[in-house]
């Protein structure tokens, strides 16, 4: 079946450094790739998304890149801060089933 | 104003009992979902409703029965609870089936 793979499962970076989380997807018809952030005790919240007609999108310290040929997309966080500590999920639609499936999540910790 | 609200936030119960979780969204969205998040943080879709009509049922045991009295509400009833049902259940809504998901804060179910 269709799936989304996410790596790494945990990531620890020094405050101020960059963090990169990578995902691959299998449905070649997917055209929308969101990233969600889940803070402790809360529901996931969309932080950035990208559609297949662009290769990169930035919003302040976060950016997402997409390689449709390789079916890869990545989340980049620069100048990390303590409030960036959370679990991050990538996701992609399964076009044949009208649903979005999630990667397995990355627990990001920012070391002071 | 809470966009997607679910109750109760915590639920502790014995095996074999029946329990319900309620969800309401005030975003005017047409589609609502139930997701299950296990202890490893995997987020899996269980059900999706569009305008009160069931559109996705992800091979969930029939002990789980969703009900949507109107497009702003989606409740989840679980019969004969088992230990493996312990998880956090998230309600979500979206305007289109593969668009941005808005999640509630989750309902943590513990089955003893």
- Considering only CB atoms, A97 lies closest to which of B43, B56, B106, namely B56
If DSSP codes are grouped into helix, strand and coil, which group holds residue B100?
Answer: coil
Question: Are A43 and B92 an interchain contact pair (Cβ–Cβ within 8 Å)?
Answer: yes
CB A105 within 8 A of CB B41: yes
The residue written with tokens 């003893």 in the block is: B112
Looking at the complex, does the CB of residue B90 fall below 8 Å from at least one CB of chain A?
A: yes
Residue B111, pLDDT > 70, answer yes
Question: Are A46 and B101 an interchain contact pair (Cβ–Cβ within 8 Å)?
Answer: yes
Question: Are B100 and A49 an interchain contact pair (Cβ–Cβ within 8 Å)?
Answer: yes
- Considering only CB atoms, B97 lies closest to which of A38, A45, A98, namely A98
Closest-CA distance, A86 to chain B, in angstroms, reads 12
Question: Are A104 and B40 an interchain contact pair (Cβ–Cβ within 8 Å)?
Answer: yes
- Considering only CB atoms, B43 lies closest to which of A41, A45, A89, namely A89
| Residues written for chain B | 112
Mutate to test the interface with A, among B4, B41, B99 (most CBs of A within 10 A): B41
CB A44 within 8 A of CB A89: yes
CA count, 13 A, side-chain hemisphere, A111? 5
Q: Which residue has the higher pLDDT, A110 or B54?
A: A110
The helix (H) or strand (E) run that includes residue A65 is: strand A62-67
Tens digits of residue pLDDT in B38-96? 998 999 999 999 888 888 888 789 999 999 999 899 999 999 999 999 999 999 999 87
- According to the model, what pLDDT value does residue B97 have? 67
Residue A68, pLDDT > 70, answer yes
Q: Which residue has the higher pLDDT, A3 or A111?
A: A111
Q: Which residue has the higher pLDDT, B55 or B34?
A: B34
Residue A1, pLDDT > 70, answer no
Q: Which residue has the higher pLDDT, A54 or A17?
A: A17
Looking at the complex, does the CB of residue B92 fall below 8 Å from at least one CB of chain A?
A: yes
d(CA A77, CA A87): 13
Query: What integer is the mean pLDDT of A38-56?
Result: 93
């Amino acid at each position: 079946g269709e799936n989304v793979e996410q790596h790494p499962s945990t990531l620890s970076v020094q405050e101020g450094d960059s963090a990169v989380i990578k995902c691959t997807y299998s449905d070649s018809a997917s055209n929308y790739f969101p990233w969600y952030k889940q803070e402790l005790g809360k529901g996931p919240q969309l932080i950035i998304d990208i559609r297949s007609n662009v290769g990169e999108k930035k919003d302040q310290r976060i950016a997402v890149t997409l390689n449709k040929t390789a079916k890869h997309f990545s989340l980049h966080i620069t100048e990390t801060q303590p409030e960036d500590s959370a679990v991050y999920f990538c996701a992609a639609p399964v076009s044949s089933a009208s649903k979005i499936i999630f990667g397995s999540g990355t627990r990001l910790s920012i070391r002071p | 104003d809470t966009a997607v609200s679910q109750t109760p936030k915590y639920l502790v119960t014995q095996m074999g009992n029946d329990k319900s979780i309620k969800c309401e969204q005030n975003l005017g969205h047409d589609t609502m979902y139930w997701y299950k998040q296990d202890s490893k943080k995997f987020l899996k879709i269980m059900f999706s409703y569009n305008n009160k009509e069931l559109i996705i049922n992800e091979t969930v045991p029939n002990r789980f029965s969703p009900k949507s009295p109107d497009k702003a509400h989606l409740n989840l009833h679980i019969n004969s609870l088992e230990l493996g049902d312990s998880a956090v259940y998230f309600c979500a809504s979206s305007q289109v089936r593969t668009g941005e998901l808005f999640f509630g804060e989750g309902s943590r179910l513990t089955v003893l």
